[in-house]
Amino acid sequence: MNEALWALGRGTGVVALALLSLSVVLGIVHRSGRPLPGLPRFSVTLVHRDVSLLGAVFTLIHVIALFFDPQAQLNLVDFILPFLGTANPFWLGLGTVASDVLVALILTGLLRRSVGFRVFRFVHWFAYAMWPIALLHSFGDGTDSAAAWFNVVAVLCVAAVASAVIWRLTTGFVEFKKLRTGELP
């Protein structure tokens, strides 16, 4: 049973990292105002939302499985307050910070119309902080962080998010940007 919980906790953590990376990339594509091949703009938004929610579900299973696993030595307080853990308090704390931010992102995302656009956007910027924190947590706290397969997954995640962020910073990022600022494409 413990073996199973341990495996579940680790596996879901890696899947959550991959899903949240994909979510960041989709969020950036959405922000560009561009469709993807075969995916119109409104679908990009919906897939971004669904992948994020799925990432949150995997994060939840990850946390719960490790809570019931004696090896991880998780306390209830580690669900909410970072850096108070028994084992690896710093690296575990990063996971707590990331999941706290994730909860805020999900809540303001789903209640977007009630909280208003400004609050939503302010909180949503923290996605760019959440992702590297979650990545560091998976490297620092992850049992598999030395394993080759984990490094392949991590490199793919980093490559995808890094290229999306770099694209985000280029001038041609937003559709119609060149036209709107008066330059010719």
Partner 1 sequence: MSALRNELRRELRRESALLHIDWTACDGRGLCTELLPELLQRDEWGYPLSLGYGSNVPVPRALMDAAQDAVALCPRQALRMLGR
Candidates 116, 156, 163, 166: give the one binding partner 1 (CB under 8 A).
116
Task: Name which of 95, 121, 124, 122 is nearest 12 in CA terms.
Answer: 95
Task: Name which of 24, 21, 47, 31 is nearest 157 in CA terms.
Answer: 21
| 172 near partner 1, rule: CB under 8 A | no
Task: Map the footprint of partner 1 across residues 95-114, applying CB under 8 A.
Answer: 112-113
3-class DSSP assignment, residue 102: helix
Confirm if 25 and 164 have CB atoms less than 8 A apart: yes
Candidates 68, 83, 90, 176: give the one binding partner 1 (CB under 8 A).
176
| 171 near partner 1, rule: CB under 8 A | no
Confirm if 61 and 12 have CB atoms less than 8 A apart: yes
- Which of 37, 149 has the CB closer to partner 1? 37
Contact set with partner 1 (CB under 8 A): 30-31, 33, 35, 40-42, 45-46, 112-113, 116-117, 175-176, 179-180
